[in-house]
Amino acid sequence: MRDKAKRILVCDDNVDFLKVVAEMLKTCGHEPFMAKTGNQALQKAAKLGPDLVLLDYRLPDMDGAEVLRELRRIDDKLPIIIMTGFGHEKLAAQVIKLGAMDYLVKPFKSGELLHSVEHTLQQAEKERQKAELEKFVFWGKLFPMVAHEIRTPLHSIGGALTLIKSRHQGDETTVRALQIIHEEIVRLNEFVNQCLDFSRPSAREGLTNVDLNETVNSCVQLITPFFLSEAKKITVKKRLEKCLPPVFGNPYEIKQVLINLLKNAVEAIPTSGQIMVETVHRKEEPEEFADIRVLDTGVGITQEDLGELFTPFFSKKRSGIGLGLAICKKIIEENHGGRIRVESELSKGTTITVTLPVGPPGESLEEVS
């Protein structure tokens, strides 16, 4: 099962063929886009950010290999399937070497196309997850060392600050300078703590039945002072599903995630807007899932930034550390076998969905629709 319809760019100079392929893709719930030339394909790929490209090898304006290379410059991880009526092993080896993930010889049947598309999407997702895991392992090894190197001098600075405070004469400039030093010490301590939180080995500890509706109510109440301190006109609404079954998890970690998402939603709204928090129970036989969705009417997120949201230290906030969402992802996916995903549109807002499996401990979420 897919999280959502995949955007698939199909490039071929035969309009009738494009229409047939588009209909095949629509039957599986995908969203096809069409291009008749290599240049059109490159323009649409740059604009749309497709999840996969079906590319004819012989095009009127560019060689398929050239288009493939240019697509790789736009997105080096973009999955590409080459289509051609001139099938032979040498050509297949060439396009695979250039970065195509699969190869279809025309004419092909609907089943062949759909099998190739699904297989390629799955392979691309596995490669993405592998690269992400390697990146997180690297950060996980680095963070404890960084935290140690920062925390040691911080203790010395804090002690020196206490001494200076006890002896200074109280002039306004000195008081302000000492306040700045104190604020920076607090900020760095928070950074160290987040580094250590992120680097701790994943563990399914402290798990119990968690009422997500109760968690939402509690977090909204806790976050209210933060709404007020931001001096914004924000309406917070809740749409909670009745008889929502409990999830098996760590209640404190789930609260930590939700509070982080709510704070991000507030910060995304410039002056006024709305935040909606929903809970949803879904059955996908033989599994059941419970979702928490946080929707805001804020500034939205660019497609480019969406791909970096969970990367450690990625932040567009002036004072942001860039570890909040990375920790949320670790808590939900590694500690609870769930999933967290983001959808956003500039100037319209963002929706973040946390999905948790309903069921006995030990079950994991492998696919979520």
Q: Please state the φ and ψ torsions of residue 295, each to the nearest 5 degrees.
A: -110, 130
CA 199 to chain centre: 19
> Tell me, what's the pLDDT at 364?
41
pLDDT above 50 (res 362): no
Beta strands in 122-227 (DSSP E): 208-210
The pLDDT of residue 109 is above 60:
yes
In the prediction, which pLDDT does 341 show?
92
Enclosing H/E stretch for 342: strand 339-345
Residue pair 44/9 in contact (Cβ under 8 Å)? The answer is: yes
How many other β-carbons are positioned within 10 Å of the β-carbon of residue 109? 9
- Banded model confidence at residue 361, pLDDT cuts 50, 70, 90: very low
Residue 367 has pLDDT above 50, yes or no: no
Higher pLDDT, 182 or 313: 182
The answer to whether 98 and 68 have CB atoms below 8 angstroms apart is yes
Residue linked to tokens 């070497």: 97
- Among the residue ranges 30-34, 72-76, 125-129, 142-146, the one predicted with the least confidence is 142-146
CA distance 244 to 215: 12
Confidence band for 265, pLDDT divided at 50, 70 and 90:
very high
pLDDT of 344 strictly over 60: yes
pLDDT bin (cut points 50, 70, 90) of residue 298 is very high
**Predicted local distance difference test score (pLDDT) of residue 125:** 82
- Provide the pLDDT for residue 342: 93
Residue 106 has pLDDT above 50, yes or no: yes
Looking at the predicted structure, is the pLDDT value of residue 105 above 60?
yes
Tokens describing residue 79? 């999955």
**Residue 278 has which token pair?**
């929903």
Q: Is 62 helix (H, G, I), strand (E, B) or coil?
A: coil
**Contact between 95 and 103 (Cβ < 8 Å):** yes
Strand, helix or coil for residue 12: coil
